[in-house]
Amino acid sequence: MVERANKPKTLSSTPALPPQATVTFSDDNSRVIAELPTGERVEVLLYGATVISWKDASGDEKLWLSEAAKLDGSKAVRGGIPLVFPVFGSVPDHLKTKDLPQHGFARTSRWEFLGKSTSESLEGETTNDPSVKLDFGLSSGAPGLDPKAAAHWPYKFNLIYSVTLNRESLTTNILATNDDSQSFECHVLLHTYLRVNDITAVSVTGLGGAQYVDKVDSAKTKTQPTEGPLTITGETDRVYTPAENTVTVSEGSTEKYRVTRDKFSNVVVWNPWIDKAEGLADFAPKDGYRQMLCIEPGTVDSWQTVEAGDALAGAQTISLVG
Ligand SMILES: O=P(O)(O)OC[C@H]1O[C@@H](O)[C@H](O)[C@@H](O)[C@@H]1O
């Protein structure tokens, strides 16, 4: 009788909360791993706040990561989603960024994990569509800042990078705030390495009607608009300014990824192909160019001026289609 009296009561009027997403640190504290109750998973290296893995519920990897990528903080990561800020490539005649590393210092600094938020429960409402958002921060004066940035980027700034995992999509969002008393100029880009099965079967739509700058063949700078889907048959390195804000990557007749931009005017499409991959020490296997295509949303064809006290934001959402 006593045992029965002590049993906890089940309140049938209180709906059970769905299971929460889990967020853990790796044993060496180098990365944050988030997993939805349904099995989708994302892994973010604090070095560069680089997303290095994104898997669906069946464990299928969506991002390409080189087998020779350095994950120890000695070099920008070859694969995943490196973050490009405040300069795209290198611009030798731009006084304020010319001494920074190629693609800037965001991808070569160790970021701070600021925390997580989940959407399983909102003011008592429950949802069956779980998601988790991870926030990372990097600011001037931070201990993890690449020393080259401290030496050559003379501004006070604050970056917040958010990675949101949903069942069918991944969103990455950057907010760059100017905390200085003077304006600064910058580029921002999300250098996403999408994983594909066979690059020769890949086609990209959503670029049509756009002019592009061809970084491989400088004669083709600002060519006439692209007609039809883009296929990859050799080294490709193009900066597009598409009219549409969604780029779709298909393999054969199957749509695979939709990449939607928010507040970004450009998309860089990059594949190093055979010779360039050969020359990149951290690119492995050497025929890995067949399994990847970089679709890189950003604003890089002109400098963005961020006034003192102002902020610049931009985001991509990669949705799984097929
Ligand atoms: O080797 P990195 O610095 O990671 O750059 C890779 C490529 O990144 C792309 O975004 C650039 O358009 C290419 O020109 C560049 O080669």
Q: Is the CB of 34 under 6 A from ligand 1?
A: no
Task: Give the model's pLDDT for residue 218.
Answer: 72
**Peptide linkage before 18 cis (omega within 30 of 0):** no
**107 assigned to a ligand binding site:** yes
- The whole-angstrom separation of Cα 66 and Cα 43 is 15
Phi-psi region of 265 (alpha: psi -120 to 50; beta: other; left: phi over 0): alpha
* pLDDT, averaged across the chain: 91
Q: What would the pLDDT profile of 183-238 be if each residue is shown by its tens digit? A: 999 999 999 999 999 999 999 999 977 778 889 987 666 665 666 899 999 999 99
| Cα 117 off chain centre by | 19
Q: What percent of the chain has pLDDT over 70?
A: 89
Reported as type and span, the H/E element at residue 148 is: helix 147-152
**146's tokens:** 């690449």
On the 0-12 / 13-18 / 19+ scale of CB atoms within 10 A, 177 is middle
Q: Which atom of ligand 1 is nearest to the CA of 76?
A: 4
Closest CA to 177 of 149, 134, 146, 138: 138
Bridge partner list, 240: 212, 267
Q: Which atom of ligand 1 is nearest to the CA of 296?
A: 10
- Read off the amino acid at residue 66: S
CATH of domain 22-121+128-197+259-320: 2.70.98.10
Side by side, which strands form the sheet with 22-25?
22-25, 31-35, 41-45, 50-55
Q: What percent of the chain has pLDDT over 90?
A: 83
Cα-based distances in Å from 134 to 10, 164, 165:
34, 6, 8
Task: Give the model's pLDDT for residue 210.
Answer: 72
Task: Give the model's pLDDT for residue 128.
Answer: 65
Question: Does 152 qualify as catalytic in the annotation?
Answer: no
Q: Lowest-pLDDT range, 46-55, 112-121, 152-161, 250-259?
A: 112-121
Residue nearest to atom 7 of ligand 1 (CA): 270
Q: Is pLDDT above 50 for 1?
A: no
Residue nearest to atom 12 of ligand 1 (CA): 237
The ipTM, to two decimals, is 0.99
CA of 272 to the centre of ligand 1 (A): 9
CB hemisphere CA count around 160 (13 angstroms): 15
Q: Which atom of ligand 1 is nearest to the CA of 272?
A: 16
Q: What's the pLDDT band for 52 if we cut at 50, 70, 90?
A: very high
Question: Does 187 qualify as catalytic in the annotation?
Answer: no
**261 assigned to a ligand binding site:** no
Task: Give the model's pLDDT for residue 208.
Answer: 75
Task: Give the model's pLDDT for residue 16.
Answer: 67
CA of 89 to the centre of ligand 1 (A): 7
Residue nearest to atom 4 of ligand 1 (CA): 78
Q: Lowest-pLDDT range, 15-24, 59-68, 139-148, 220-229?
A: 220-229
Q: Ligand 1 pocket test: which of 268, 271, 299 has the largest number of ligand atoms within 8 Å of its C-beta?
A: 268
- Read off the amino acid at residue 157: F
Q: Is pLDDT above 50 for 35?
A: yes
**3-state DSSP call for residue 138?**
strand
**78 assigned to a ligand binding site:** yes
First to last CA, the chain: 58
CA of 1 to the centre of ligand 1 (A): 73
Q: Which atom of ligand 1 is nearest to the CA of 237?
A: 12
CA of 169 to the centre of ligand 1 (A): 25
Size (the chain), residues: 322
